[in-house]
Chain A
Amino acid sequence: MAEIKVTPLGAGQDVGRSCILVTIGGKNIMLDCGMHMGFNDDRRFPDFSYITRTGRLTEHLDCVIISHFHLDHCGALPYMSEIVGYDGPIYMTQPTKAICPILLEDYRKITVERKGETNFFTSAMIKDCMKKVIIVNLHQTVQVDDELEITAYYAGHVLGAAMFRMKVGSQSVVYTGDYNMTPDRHLGAAWIDKCRPDILITESTYATTIRDSKRCRERDFLQKIHDCIEKGGKVLIPVFALGRAQELCILVETFWDRMNLTVPVYFSLGLTEKANHYYKLFIMWTNQKIRKTFVKRNLFDFKHIKPFDRGYIHNPGPMVVFATPGMLHAGLSLQIFRNWASNPLNMVIMPGYCVAGTVGNKILSGAKKIEMENRQVIDVKLSVQYMSFSAHADAKGIMQLIRMCEPKNVILVHGEAKKMEFLKQKITGEFGIQCHMPANGEVVAMETKANLTADVSLSLLKRSIALSGDALKDVKKPRVLHGAVTISGEKMHLEDASKTMQQLGMTEHEIRFTSTVTIPSMSMEVVQKKLKRRFPHQSVQLTSDGSILVGSVLVKVAGESEESLDLLVSWPYQEEDLGSSLFTILQHGFASHTET
């Protein structure tokens, strides 16, 4: 009985600082290494002291896997590898490796340069950390060591997002990271094969939501923007630099095209512009439609959307601005918000989830006054809209993924406890499998029942299948295999018993029984007929010298008189059951026996 252990260090009944430890087949794996946007103290990073209080993590971890480039999944990586200390392999996809350091640098700048924090990771640390990264391609099976292998699957959540399957021997765990089961404007839907893992660790951000059709939401979104600019208002859309921003840009771009609008649309310079280059180079990670048409027209070359300059904040007249970061917790989006918040004509559209503690979260929960870091209080008069464009799987999607990979157990992470509870009920109810939702630091240990593997000689296997008959007709019918299993060290070998003895240099000891019995006089043909009736599954043959063979039991005439027939019954020990029962039948005489 082997055990798999799963311990969330972050994202246990929470969204933020995703970091989950998995122990499988003696291998320790860290899944994601994120930061929490709701905290500015120690709690922003996972608690690595859980792994070890002294020394580096290298000897405690076999590998680290990063699912995608969002900071709540990779934000603590340089801290973990360079400050706590980890020199082992870090696996991620190519787009993640390309984009992750940019976001980390951006995060570092905001924290150190704006907020003036010291004792944070440096640019050099980000570089050193990225040197430890090994790229994993989709569906490629990477051998981490002789026993542990990992495979990445498309997750659809952002460019380069992947789900990972880890396998040691016959045990396996799937970690979804964040994923999306419905294709959107630039990404495809998550997919995994029916790999029947022992445990599926899935995100559950939208555990209780069943989202309405995407088309409606898009129409709503455009309608709201349109209404606002008609009235002369300004629209602020805080976004993450990569991902949602590109999808919404495509949406707005095509709308402006169709409606012939001239109101300016901007995106914050730098990150987003560079991001579009990545999208052009990583077209293979976008959805099929974009991949098919990219040669003729690259959708990420925008015509209407222009780069934004801070000076434009006070420009008169309507405009639409995409600005980072997405949760209004710092940077340009927050600066614009401060300036526009007091005008009721303006609007802010929050297109995604906001973690607790951020300005985004506060205004979404209806706060009318927001206190800023410099104790300045802002009146929130502008219209606050929430649109769930976040590319997470909803409850339906999560159930769909479970159906897709057929796990034996499910563990929920990356969600709120109350919502998880609901989904847990649903999963146990619908699939009849165990579902856990551990809090941070709580260990879920599971026994896995694994079959033992043995080598079986092909001739024995084929013979056993053929003997049971109808092998072709009824494949599902159970067939009996009998032999000897030799165990030496880790190896098990199944073979015919006499062959096994031969191979091991043992001489089989043959035992044979010969017994005599007297029955009423009858011809051997009659005896054969009677025996045939009694042993319908055996071959009952009359040999040329007048004896009968039932299986390998020999029935031979020893002498006969007018009333009786003396028979010699002889069988080897291997046929003891058959020989003994045949002998008993003869001894009782056929007739009397049948009638009792």
Chain B
Amino acid sequence: MKLYCLSDHPNAPCLLLTFKSTTILLDCGLDLTSLQHFLPLTLVPSARLNSLPPWTVTGDISTQLKDDLKKELKECSGRVFVDSSPEVCLPELGIVDFSTVDAILVSNYHCMLALPFITEYTGFKGRVYCTDPTQQTGRQLMEEFVEYMERVPRAKTAVNWKKPSVLKMLPAPLRDIAWATSLRRCYTTHDINSCMSKVRVTAFSEKLNLFGSLMVSPHSSGYCLGSCNWVIKSDYEKVCYVSSSSFLTTHSIPILQEPLKNSDLLLLTGITQTPAHNPDSMLGEFCSNLTVTIKNGGNVLVPCYPSGIIYDLFECLSGYMDSVGLTQVPMFFVSPVADSSLAYSQIFSEWLCAQKQSKVFLPEPPFPHAELIKSGRLKHFSTIHGDFSSHFKTPCVVFTGHPSLRLGDAVHFMELWGKSSSNTVIFIEPNFSYLDALAPYQPLAMKACYCPIDTAISFPQATKMIKELKPLHVVLPECYLTPPTSQPLRTDLVVEAEVAPTPYKRGSVLHLPIKRRLERIEITPELAGSLAPIEVKPGVFVSTVTGTITARDNKYILQEAPKQALPSTPSSQPIRKRKREDDGGVSETAHPKQYVYGNLEVEELVQALAKNGITDVKVEDTASGHIIHLQTEDTIIQLEEGSTHIFCEGNEPLRRKLRDTLIACLPSF
């Protein structure tokens, strides 16, 4: 069993597992933090961004390259940005032949954004497995991202700054980009559609059979709609892949831990990205900041993904705004996929927590946002163009993407509201550092609050989970073994386990210490009936067994061998004759019919020989046993502890007689 670690970003995992000659890719995360190095994509040309000064490289490079770099690099408030179509960071694709991958298991919609890069550009021929909500929501996330990119087409992609020789001359944080060679432009809508056609949707606790050798099941992880942990089982071994689980009560079905217990191997990723921020108190902070801003006549911008935590926010916020007398303040949700995100959330009732699920029996939509839309408190638009302007009124709350603040309509609102200190931008998504997100907008008058709501398990919860699940081995990203770089003193923010976990980093290949010793085999009733088991110990029976194995769909069946065990290659004339003569086709490959064990009492053998008419014997004691001498036949039986040796002078009938007598004296099976 081997594990190829294609990404070590714990929240954009991508791991390749080989197990029982099956190759499985676990998740396909896309590291979007690379977006922070680029300038925002504005739909309307921004005078401010266009007038940013170029950054000049000081170093030993050609003037040509220097000039090229001037066009690529811009400086804003002391930070250098790349002026180009933004690029995303792919997992390590070089160390694996993707045409050999049999299946891709996706655990949640945040962990599948790199999927089209693999299904469309690597020769991948297998199947992708994920739940229905994961597929639909994942598709929405991809479509939104692609739409945001294509809305602002940029002819050129900057390439010079990525050259290793140049990169090391750049200031931080550009200088510290670890995987500059894995940066790529995003895929297209066509890629998304083609990729989605390779998906086979699964239900929670469905047993998926991979080639008869592995049984794979997704079990609810409680993190978001349709999110799951995967259990990969052979008949004897069990591997659990835990990715982004949650113990908090949100809108999705709670985590199911039982199937994850007692595994041989636990792969753990997706612990909270904001361990210092408690989701519940963040929600409170969110509400109070919102109230203050609106009561002062300002507007609130919430950069967000088009699904997930926003469903809870709509519900929670509308109630809260009622309670503080802000019922009249509209909420806008602007995303190219707003309508389908809201519509799909209402029809995935089977994937929702019991309280939401029970609504459909009334019948009512599970989420209150259907009601909010009807009453006009929540208005959704695919873009800020067209209809939106006629409904737009301030003060208001706007939910829109992209949370990186580099693309999408959020960029527009930042430019629009950034100059006034009465407005507030509230960050709720945990994936991006808010200071990095705001950097190209500096200097900024607008207030910024960081209220990340990350429902994923905390470090103490992860440690407790491992304790409860009792895996034999634990494998996790290296960064989980040391405190986060931002909080080096918080030694509590690490994962601990009784058996030291095996860490991985990007590009590493782990040989996992799981030895397969057994395989399951079926024995046909006919063969089983022909066995003659001997009780060798109380309750323990043993029998020799010989049969032919057939393997179908990686299942082994043992059945009675055909009566005439002929050699498989055509035999030449003389051999066949010989066989006929050697009493009844004794094949050279014949197996022993029985096994003898234990020790022999010399007196017993002598008596048995006598019974068979061999009386002319002389017994001698030796250092290690006895020798029985058959005087007339010049034959010797040498008895020792655990062994007997018969020497005879070519008298075959006598030898067989001795053989049978001897075996009858020994216990056998």
In the complex, A501→B642 CA distance in Å? 13
Contact status A509-B666, CB under 8 Å: yes
Q: Which residues does chain B contribute within 8 Å of A464, judged by CB atoms?
A: 549
From known contacts A281-B347, A513-B646, A534-B575, infer whether A587 and B652 are also in contact, taking CB-CB under 8 Å: yes
Contact status A481-B548, CB under 8 Å: yes
B293 contacts partner chain A, Cβ-Cβ < 8 Å: no
From known contacts A139-B206, A477-B568, A487-B541, infer whether A294 and B575 are also in contact, taking CB-CB under 8 Å: no
Nearest CB of chain A from residue B253's CB, rounded to whole Å: 10
A223 contacts partner chain B, Cβ-Cβ < 8 Å: no
Contact status A504-B522, CB under 8 Å: no
B392 contacts partner chain A, Cβ-Cβ < 8 Å: no
Which of these, B537, B551, B567, B598, contacts A509 with CB under 8 Å? Answer: B598
Q: Which residues does chain B contribute within 8 Å of A479, judged by CB atoms?
A: 548-549
1/0 per residue A446-459: CB within 8 Å of B? 00011111111111
Residues 628-669 of B contacting A (Cβ, < 8 Å) = 642-650, 652, 655-656, 659, 662-663, 666, 669
From known contacts A274-B363, A480-B589, A501-B597, infer whether A514 and B645 are also in contact, taking CB-CB under 8 Å: yes
In the complex, A535→B26 CA distance in Å? 52
In the complex, A515→B637 CA distance in Å? 12
Contact status B536-A535, CB under 8 Å: no
1/0 per residue A461-488: CB within 8 Å of B? 1001100000000011111111111111
A573 contacts partner chain B, Cβ-Cβ < 8 Å: yes
Which of these, A282, A488, A593, contacts B347 with CB under 8 Å? Answer: A282
B523 contacts partner chain A, Cβ-Cβ < 8 Å: yes
Contact status A488-B539, CB under 8 Å: yes
Nearest CB of chain B from residue A69's CB, rounded to whole Å: 13
A356 contacts partner chain B, Cβ-Cβ < 8 Å: no
SS of A interface (majority): mixed
Q: Which residues does chain B contribute within 8 Å of A482, judged by CB atoms?
A: 544-546, 591-592
Nearest CB of chain A from residue B436's CB, rounded to whole Å: 34
A284 contacts partner chain B, Cβ-Cβ < 8 Å: yes
From known contacts A452-B528, A486-B542, infer whether A94 and B568 are also in contact, taking CB-CB under 8 Å: no
Which of these, A138, A456, A584, contacts B203 with CB under 8 Å? Answer: A138
Contact status A141-B578, CB under 8 Å: no
A564 contacts partner chain B, Cβ-Cβ < 8 Å: no
B521 contacts partner chain A, Cβ-Cβ < 8 Å: yes
B540 contacts partner chain A, Cβ-Cβ < 8 Å: yes
Which of these, B344, B520, B574, B581, contacts A456 with CB under 8 Å? Answer: B520
Contact status B520-A453, CB under 8 Å: yes
Q: Which residues does chain B contribute within 8 Å of A476, judged by CB atoms?
A: 550
Contact status A484-B645, CB under 8 Å: no
A118 contacts partner chain B, Cβ-Cβ < 8 Å: no
Contact status B349-A281, CB under 8 Å: yes
B190 contacts partner chain A, Cβ-Cβ < 8 Å: no
Contact status B204-A578, CB under 8 Å: no
Q: Which residues does chain B contribute within 8 Å of A514, judged by CB atoms?
A: 645-648
Which of these, B540, B588, B596, B649, contacts A486 with CB under 8 Å? Answer: B540
Q: Which residues does chain B contribute within 8 Å of A458, judged by CB atoms?
A: 516-519
From known contacts A457-B517, A458-B519, infer whether A281 and B346 are also in contact, taking CB-CB under 8 Å: yes
From known contacts A482-B545, A484-B545, A576-B592, infer whether A504 and B521 are also in contact, taking CB-CB under 8 Å: no
B339 contacts partner chain A, Cβ-Cβ < 8 Å: yes
Q: Which residues does chain B contribute within 8 Å of A508, judged by CB atoms?
A: 595-597, 642
Which of these, A274, A509, A536, contacts B643 with CB under 8 Å? Answer: A509
Q: Which residues does chain A contribute within 8 Å of B429, judged by CB atoms?
A: none
In the complex, A461→B349 CA distance in Å? 47
Q: Which of A246-254, A393-401, A492-500 contacts B (4 or more CB under 8 A)?
A: A492-500
Contact status B595-A516, CB under 8 Å: no
Q: Which residues does chain A contribute within 8 Å of B212, judged by CB atoms?
A: none
Contact status A509-B597, CB under 8 Å: yes
5 closest pairs, A vs B, by CB? A451-B522, A478-B548, A510-B643, A482-B591, A139-B203
Q: List 16 A-B contacts (CB under 8 A).
A: A280-B347, A281-B360, A284-B132, A284-B347, A295-B343, A480-B546, A481-B546, A486-B540, A488-B539, A497-B544, A509-B642, A513-B648, A515-B655, A534-B574, A573-B663, A576-B659
Q: What 5 new A-B contacts, CB under 8 Å, besides A485-B523, A494-B521, A514-B646?
A: A281-B360, A452-B522, A453-B523, A457-B519, A504-B536
